[in-house]
Amino acid sequence: MNKDSNSQDNKLRLQVFLAHSGLASRRACEKIILDGRVTVNGQVVTELGSKVSDSDIVKVDGKQLSLEKKKCYVLLNKPAGYVCSSSDEKGRAVAVDLLKDAYKERLYNVGRLDMYSKGMILFTNDGDFAAKLSHPSSQVEKEYIVETSQDIPEDFPKKFEHGIRVDNVFYKCLKCQILKARKLDIVLIEGKNREIRTVLESQNIGTKSLVRVRIGSVKLNNLKPGEYRELTEREVKSLLGEKL
């Protein structure tokens, strides 16, 4: 095999390079490319099939990126009041900033919690991990403890498990259990934007507190709001559905 073909083999698709540099998930990186925000050796590149190597100078919004050498997988107990985004145009507090003093790597959130929700959120710089975990086929369970402003009707859990349509959107949980008159345990697989709050509001039930306590086999346990820890290798494999 000649030198040129070796060089070609070592190249990565641009969106993969961006994801492995810790910029964002691969899908988000594809949009960044299509939006014309990426340059390679000074030229704007908008084609998703483009390939780059370590010797190429890749920049996003004028800032140069390089491949991350260490892959990070971090679990944060997100307090209320933080948004799940790399930055916020409204100047609100960003959850990833709670990790910036501990990690020099560029981390981004896998999935989201809305600003007022609390609990487990995962951060990584591994684009493959983020893509696999975010894909609907992963079927990863997410468990929430919800406190409400009104008493919960006895028939609500069965309704939500069978499916509730709100404004032409169908919402369906995997499991729903009443723990107390105003406290629920809900397990989702798909998890649409603000799903639990929307469904409760459709039944005239207000959400007082919403905490995500489990993602797959990984539990929040005693981690306090604002605290974080790295996932174990076993936990990462478990989330990806790999053999332990």
Separation between Cα atoms, residue 127 and residue 52, nearest integer Å: 16
DSSP calls for the chain: --HHHHHHHT-EEHHHHHHHTTSS-HHHHHHHHHTT-EEETTEE---TT-EE-TTS-EEETTEEE---SS--EEEEEEPTT-BSSS--TT---BGGGGGTTT--S--EEES---TT-EEEEEEES-HHHHHHHHSGGG---EEEEEEESSPPPTTHHHHHHH-EEETTEEE--SEEEEEETTEEEEEESS--TTHHHHHHHHTT--EEEEEEEEETTEE-TTPPTT-EEEPPHHHHHHHTT---
Tell me if residue 9 is catalytic.
no
Q: Contact at 8 Å (CB) between 186 and 205?
A: no
Separation between Cα atoms, residue 78 and residue 186, nearest integer Å: 18
Q: Contact at 8 Å (CB) between 65 and 18?
A: yes
Q: Which residues contact 193 (CB under 8 A, 6 or more apart)?
A: 112, 114
**Active-site annotation holder among 114, 151, 155, 185:** 114
Q: Which residues does the annotation mark as catalytic? A: 114
